Structure 1
């Protein structure tokens, strides 16, 4: 796993007449979890969405591995820079079918990515409709890992989970960062920030 630097350079975002981000600059390094913190509405999620081109800045630039993301193929960018959302986003069907939505791999490979998120190969034939919220979020994380991303954007991924399920996701992220992945994790939970973060980046009034 070879993480890459993510650099945000003097980014400005205006949306519907409102200033969301105002000249924001940041660098997110490989092999670390950077917690992005700030008040509600400060632009934390907008910052993540710029990195893998779900949104585009009004001005400024986002670079991945030294290259402006505006010049990268968007599908290739999103393969290399995965994103996990606040609530699980499973597809209908089995866990195996969900993992195939990420990438076509062998069951052995699927077992490996499930193990990375503290699930077992016995889950492959389970229907996602029968899983808990914590299990669903880990399946979504495993689905993202099937593309072998170098960086991972996590938008409050544990906010809807109970504490035990949240800790499992945190532990998985720590292991991924330890293997070299670049992880950018939005959180409003200061205790979680203190548990997981190698670096902290504040946006909005928290700057």
Structure 2
């Protein structure tokens, strides 16, 4: 069992937070995805749900390994998921949360992939590669909803205005845990928050973060 240094303790919490968000997104992709706007969207959502739940399972198992405890059969998230992801209840809020949450997670995983600990870095590369299509899918749907007709764009902007700042605040909290970087579990090559701002502002000429 690895020594529970401050950095390791915070890193385990980070891994579990990402796992919880993946678990919740997977659950919502099934629950809401079956009512997608068309058959293609529904099938894609269900396929991605399996990917998100698979990632959650891998991360929960990794957390157990880091703690040196027996792997548990996960029945629900541990309470660390972003509230916005938990509240998803329709297609618009699903896409907003899927995009914002995974865009933020992707930035964190990429800094972990540059960890000084080779075993840590290698554990996340597969996740980064596999979730690329999830981000592309969510970004594509986000642009589509922003350019839709009627009340949809306004409703989607409202959903983004909840999901994006919440994910941004989470990234700020991750950056504040300097012990994770100091102990080599993450690199400090970029500002996660600033990188996230640059990503979300690609959607349209609207600043969701300041």
TM-score of the superposed pair, with normalisation by structure 2 = 0.29
Higher percent of residues as strand: 1
TM-score of the pair, normalised by structure 1: 0.29
